[in-house]
Amino acid sequence: MQHMEHHDEPQRKNSIAKWIFIGLIAGVIAGTFINLYATGDFIKSYVDIAKYGSIIFLKFIKLIIGPLVLSTLVVGVAGIGDAGTVGRMSVKTIGWFIFASIMSLTLGLVIVNIFQPGLDFREHVNNATVTNLPSTSTFTLEHFIDQLVPENIFVALSSHKMVLQIVVFSVMFGLAVAAIGEKGRPIIQGMDSLAHAMLKLTNMIMWLAPLAVFSSISIVIAEKGIGVMVEYGKLILLFYFALLILWTILLSLGYVFVKNRVWSLISHIREPIILAFATASSESAYPKLLNQLERFGVRDKITSFVLPLGYSFNLDGSMMYMTFGSLLIAQAYGVDLSLTQQITMLLVLMVTSKGIAAVPRASLVVIAATIAGFNIPEIGLAILLPIDQFLDMGRTATNVVGNAVACVAVSKMEGEEIST
């Protein structure tokens, strides 16, 4: 699916990015104006009406979760389901992805626990919501197994809170489809078509994002004043600081495999990194990254296997953002998660994040699906929405670095020479 890149995609993503930015600026201006010049009653009325902008967008995001996870994951798993063909290489590749994902998720968890950025947003969330929150102590092993093991796939598909069940079914179904060979091809093609249709639907839904950004940022500023941007500035700086640490770790791992040639690797993948950053789309950088890694000297049999899988299973920047964003929302709403619950959330994110990488704002979809299972209000996504575009650019560029290092790592583990 990743190969089917349309030439107008970067322009379209840029266009959406431009409108999201316009929505952000307009929201700041409108919110400031209302905050300074409107009466208390008008502000309350404005907030009551404007909140539907982000509510509608979030409803649409939830709408696509089930079909999207099912279709992309079945196609992905079926593609690697023939153990005889992919064999040893798939074990090493998936092993590397799991290692990199856990490392990235853990980094996000550690950074949020040290700096507690969610506390800045406590005053922004509705106090009534905080006091009425259900207890998270019900999250027991029995509850986890109940969320994990599906008994009716149609029931699971009908609720965005059962994503983990859809994932388990999709993995098993994908392996079964691969095992029946030629008879399974129509199913894979059908699922691939469904995945493409869901991606197209996602692109359509993304045009609501500027409205959602406008409504969420203008509400915050109308109620609290322009000073809130200082806190958003802190949050953006903290996230990019965390990304800088992640880049350092990833490139250090690259150095372990290719020593000083890691600088040449950075030079080769500079253009796909910039493209991914500008468009906030991992897919837009895919063809160029494939090309540049082969020019760097990685064999095409490695890149053509590792990279497509990488865009479903190895998004290091997005991974870190998921624990970062989920725990930030929990902090903002005063949901106190124990270390055990945080590690459980990390493992849930590890699984739920697989297979929907091609979606713009995939991380928001996954966060929405995951925090629901921990009784954290999904409307808390409104905290991240106004600045998600800026965070998305950084994490998408990081995904490119992570997949490049993964190709180099698997290539060296396979005993391949990397020769320019």
CB 391, CB 236: distance < 8 Å = yes
pLDDT in tens, 84-99: 555 677 788 889 999 9
Maximum distance among all Cα pairs of the chain, rounded to whole angstroms: 70
Confidence of residue 405 (pLDDT cuts 50, 70, 90): very high
Question: Angle between the 388-413 and 362-372 helix axes, to the nearest 10 degrees?
Answer: 100
pLDDT in tens, 104-162: 999 999 999 999 988 888 876 654 343 333 333 444 556 667 767 888 888 888 876 66
CB 108, CB 309: distance < 8 Å = no
User: Which tops the pLDDT comparison, 241 or 78?
Assistant: 241
Q: Which domains does the chain have, with CATH numbers?
A: 9-413 (1.10.3860)
Query: Is 336 exposed, middle or buried, given 0-12, 13-18 or 19+ CB atoms closer than 10 A?
Result: exposed
Average pLDDT for 375-397: 83
**Spatial distance between the Cα atoms of 326 and 83, rounded to a whole number of angstroms:** 35
Residue with tokens 């894979």: 188
pLDDT of residue 232: 81
User: Which tops the pLDDT comparison, 296 or 357?
Assistant: 296
CB 349, CB 366: distance < 8 Å = yes
Residue with tokens 């059908």: 190
Average pLDDT for 278-301: 76
Handedness of CA 204, 205, 210, 214 (dihedral sign): positive
pLDDT in tens, 194-211: 988 887 887 788 788 788
Radius of gyration of the chain (CA): 21
Average pLDDT for 285-313: 77
Average pLDDT in the chain: 80
Residue with tokens 């279709």: 71
**Spatial distance between the Cα atoms of 74 and 266, rounded to a whole number of angstroms:** 33
Confidence of residue 190 (pLDDT cuts 50, 70, 90): very high
Question: Angle between the 83-115 and 228-258 helix axes, to the nearest 10 degrees?
Answer: 140
pLDDT of residue 178: 86
**Spatial distance between the Cα atoms of 221 and 202, rounded to a whole number of angstroms:** 28
CB 148, CB 164: distance < 8 Å = yes
pLDDT of residue 6: 45
Of all residues in the chain, what percent carry a pLDDT higher than 70? 80
Q: Is the pTM of this model over 0.85?
A: no
User: Which tops the pLDDT comparison, 314 or 325?
Assistant: 325
Average pLDDT for 43-56: 87
Q: Is the pLDDT of residue 340 over 70?
A: yes
Backbone angles phi, psi at 335, to 5 degrees: -85, 110
Q: Tokens representing 158?
A: 């009908």
Residue with tokens 């905080």: 130
Closest CA to 335 of 373, 361, 384: 373
Q: Which of 49-58, 70-79, 138-147 has the lowest mean pLDDT?
A: 138-147
Residue with tokens 């040449």: 264
pLDDT in tens, 159-184: 766 666 787 788 788 888 888 888 99
Q: Which of 17-21, 324-328, 393-397 has the lowest mean pLDDT?
A: 17-21
